[in-house]
Structure 1
Amino acid sequence: MGELYYQRSSALFAELDGINDDLHIEKNQPKGKIIISAPINAGSQFLRDIFYDFLLQYPEIQLDIRLSNTLIDIEAQAMDVVFRVGNTVVDNWIARPLKDIHFILCSNSQTVADSVKHPTDLCAKSAVICQPMSIWQLVNKQNDDTYDFQPSKGIRLELDEIQMLTHAVKKGLGIGYIPDYYALPMIAQGEIQHVLPDWQSKARTLFMLYRDRDHLPLRVRLFIEYVLARFEQG
Structure 2
Amino acid sequence: MDTLHALRVFVRTLELGSLSAAAREFGTTQPTVSKWLARLERQLRVRLVERSTRGLSPTEQGQRFYADAKRIVEQFDAAVGDVQGMTGQAAGLLRINAPVALGQFRINAMVQRFLADHPAIDVELILNDRFVDLVEEGVDVAFRLGGTLPPDAIGRHLATVPRFLVAAPMYLARRGVPSVPDDLATHDVVRFAWTPGSTVELFRGEDQARVPTSSRFRVNNALAIREALVLGGGIGVCPDWLVRDLLDSGELVRVLDEWAARPQDLTLLYPSRQFQALRTRLFIDFAVGQFSGIAGFAGGQG
Matches within 5 A, 1:1-234: 15=3, 23=77, 24-29=79-84, 30-87=90-147, 89-110=149-170, 111-112=172-173, 115-133=177-195, 136-140=200-204, 143-149=205-211, 151=213, 153=214, 155-234=215-294
8 Å contact 1:88–1:207 — kept in the other structure?
no
Gaps of 5+ in 1: 1-10
With 49-58 and 207-216 compared, the bigger mean Cα shift is at 207-216
* Superposed CA RMSD: 2.8
What are structure 2's unaligned runs of at least 5 residues? Answer: 8-71, 85-89, 295-302
Q: Once the 2 structures are TM-superposed, how far is the Cα of residue 162 of structure 1 from its aligned partner? A: 2.3
The structure-2 alpha-carbon separation of the partners of 1:173 and 1:75, relative to structure 1 and needing over 3 Å to count, comes to same
Bigger drift between 23-32 and 205-214 goes to 23-32
> Bigger CA drift: 122-131 or 86-95?
86-95
TM-score by length of 1: 0.80
C-alpha distance in 2 between matches for 1:16 and 1:96: 31
Measured after TM superposition, the shift of residue 74 of structure 1 is 2.5
* Structure 1 Cα separation of the partners of residues 108 and 150 of structure 2: 24
After TM superposition, give the deviation of residue 184 of structure 1 in Å. Answer: 3.8
Determine the structure 2 residue equivalent to 1:8: none
The one-letter code of the counterpart of 2:119 is P
- 1:18 deviation in Å? 9.4
Give the length in aligned residue pairs: 218
- State how far apart, in whole Å, the 2-side matches of 1:116 and 1:227 are: 38
State the distance in 1 between where 2:193 and 2:149 align: 20
SS in 2 for 1:102: strand
Q: In the alignment, residue 200 of structure 2 is paired with which amino acid?
A: W
Q: Give the fraction of aligned pairs with identical amino acids, expressed as a percent.
A: 24
3-state SS, counterpart of residue 214 of structure 1: coil
Q: Describe the shift of the 1:233–1:173 C-alpha distance in structure 2 as closer, same or farther (beyond 3 A).
A: closer
**Aligned counterpart, 1:6:** none
The answer as to whether partners of 2:135 and 2:271 remain within 8 angstroms in 1 is no
Shift of 1:32: 1.4
The structural deviation recorded for 1:190 is 2.0
The amino acid across from 2:128 in the alignment is: S
Instruction: Look up the SS of the partner of 2:216 in the other structure.
Output: strand
Partner secondary structure for residue 203 of structure 1: strand
2:146 maps to amino acid: G
| 1:18 to 1:179, Cα distance in 2 relative to 1, 3 A | closer
Offset, 1:231: 2.5
Within 1, Cα distance between the matches of 2:131 and 2:282? Answer: 25
Contact 2:144 2:266 in 1 (8 A): yes
CA distance in 2, matches of 1:115, 1:54: 43
| 1:56-107 residue CA offsets vs partner (Å, 9 max, x unmatched) | 2222211122111112222321221111012352344322111211221112
SS of the residue 1:99 aligns to: strand
